[in-house]
Amino acid sequence: MSAGRVTEGMLGRRLLSDLRASTHRIATAQRQIASGKRIDKPSDDPLATHNALRLRSELAGIAQDMRTIDDTKGWIDTTDSALATVTDTVHRARELALQGANGSIGQTERNKLADEVDQLIETAKSAANSSYGGRYVLAGQDTDDPPYTAGAVDTYDGDSGAIARQIGPGVSVQINIPGVSVLGNGGADNKLLSTLRTLSADLRSGNLPGLRGPALTNLDKNLEDVTSARGTIGALSTRLDAAQSRLAQVEESTTALLSENEDTDIAKAMIDLTTQQSVYQAALQSGQSLIQPSLLDFLR
């Protein structure tokens, strides 16, 4: 036995398997560059794959929360502008009550004031019927029906159900103000609509004590209701902005993490590719010069 013998067959096989390995590495580097991903299948890096799945799920959750926040902001803006109209209505009603309470004006004037109050009632109701994306924002959970109907009937047609949205992992906020808490359910509940109806009646009947006393007190209370509702909405809007910018930050850092986890380091991959290509060419050249000559070339 003579260890260290080298035969032509061995050389050929060795060269072939080296070339094959080199081609394989070139293909890997090319795939990493072309796809931009370091991981093509789970076995390329099982741990990084596991992380990638988790990070992608987090990103999808963040995207969903951001979409929810965008939608909620529209909802909040609609609510706020409806409540702003209602606020204006209360202010105007107060002015009208003060004018009507003035003993120097005549009943004809008061009737005109009463007409305007009736208009204010319709304005307030139509503001309360504001909708966003086909949903009535002040109707509680009964979002597909307008909460109030135009005309003499002031009954609230919604419910007092709360609508909540998730604006972050584990963070839910109530986003709606049921209209009944501001405008009331008609009748004698001393909410805005009831106050305005009484005001209109008092104006028409010339009930000056009523106009000077309960009407103003009630309007002040109603204004408080609206203001407090707007305060809630304002605070919510701030909270949404904060949540949005926090989510944007988390999204940025998670995306960076994901990229670090699975994206190709292009510079490194390019160097790998170039190195492997020159190795491959060198192997081919050495194969050419190594395998061809044998003793047969020199003997005649």
Q: Could you list the residues that contact other proteins (CB under 8 A)?
A: 1-10, 13-14, 17, 39, 41-47, 49-50, 52-54, 56-58, 60-61, 63-65, 67-68, 71-72, 133-135, 139-144, 159, 161, 163-166, 169-170, 172, 176, 262, 294-296, 299
Q: How far is the CB of 247 from other proteins (least distance, A)?
A: 13
Nearest distance in Å: CB 68, other proteins: 6
Minimum distance between the CB of residue 237 and other proteins, rounded to whole angstroms?
A: 17
Of 1 and 152, the one with the shorter C-beta distance to other proteins is 1
**Contact yes or no for 124/86 (Cβ under 8 A):** yes
CA-angle at 290, arms to 283 and 293, nearest 5°: 155
Q: How far is the CB of 130 from other proteins (least distance, A)?
A: 15
Between 181 and 190, CB nearer to other proteins: 181
What is the closest distance, in whole angstroms, from the C-beta atom of residue 165 to other proteins in the complex? Answer: 7
Give whichever of 12 and 213 is closer to other proteins, judged by the CB atom. Answer: 12
| Rounded least distance, CB 67 to other proteins, Å | 7
Alpha-carbon distance of 66 to 206, in angstroms, equals: 55
Cβ within 8 Å of residue 261, ≥6 positions away: 48, 51, 52, 55
Q: Which two tokens stand for residue 155?
A: 């009954």
Taking each continuous run of H as one helix and of E as one strand, the counts in the chain are 8, 4
- Residue 50 or 221: the one with the smaller Cβ distance to other proteins is 50
Question: By C-beta, is 63 or 284 nearer to other proteins?
Answer: 63
* Contact (Cβ atoms closer than 8 angstroms) between residue 137 and residue 126: no
Residues 6+ apart with CB under 8 A from 157: 139, 142, 145, 146, 147, 148, 149
Q: At 107, which helix (H) or strand (E)?
A: helix 107-128
> Is 28 or 123 the residue whose CB approaches other proteins more closely?
28
